[in-house]
Amino acid sequence: MKGLVLLFISIVFFLGVSAQQAVKIYNPSADAKSEIATAIRHAGESGKHVFIQIGGNWCPWCLRFHKFVHEDAKLDSLLKADYEVVLVNYSKENENREVLASLDYPQRFGYPVFVILDGKGNRIHTQDSGFLEDGIGYSHEKVERLFLLWSAEAILKTKEKYK
């Protein structure tokens, strides 16, 4: 009986890992520098900020974050309303060293890591994704707070308040 339970758990685990590996949200051949430049231009024109998610298809937490945000209607709406989003790949196929250097090496926090730029391309925040977890997975409240507090509108209101 123990052998059957162990076999079942092993099968479920390997199916879960295989399913996660099948999901590909990062493009190793993408030109991250160009995509970021385009996002900055669009953000500047629309009064948004740029949200950069750095990670790879090899990273289960990167895939979980992407799924978590896009399956949560409120978080997905906040992200789309306030940010231009760029997924920057980090993998053995493409480490995007130049881009990561230009962002002050955010990979030091692990993956995924998030960088927020203003509409002029200035880095205004780097977020260690570990602080967005609640012990089980990602926390809706913590991710929502990140999106709200670093939006262009929130920064503008704060600047006006303290002028």
Q: Where residue 79 sits, what CATH number does that domain have?
A: 3.40.30.10
The answer to whether residue 18 is domain-embedded is no
Q: Is 124 within a domain?
A: yes
Give a yes or no: residue 17 inside a domain: no
**Is 80 a member of any domain?**
yes
Quick: pLDDT tens for 103-157: 999 999 999 999 999 999 999 999 999 999 998 999 999 999 999 999 999 999 9
* pLDDT confidence bin for 3, thresholds 50/70/90: low
Q: What is the pTM of this model?
A: 0.86
CB 82 within 8 A of CB 49: yes
State which residues form the domain around 91: 24-161
Whether 4 maps to a domain, the answer reads no
pLDDT of residue 22: 76
Structural domain includes residue 40: yes
What's the domain count of the chain? 1
Whether residue 29 lies inside any domain: the answer is yes
Q: Quickly list DSSP for 54-123.
A: EE-TT-HHHHHHHHHHHHSHHHHHHHHHHEEEEEEE-SSS---HHHHHHTT-GGGG-SSEEEEE-TTS-E
Tens-place pLDDT, residues 26-77: 999 999 999 999 999 999 999 999 999 999 999 999 999 999 999 999 999 9
Phi, psi at residue 89, to the nearest 5°?
-75, 140
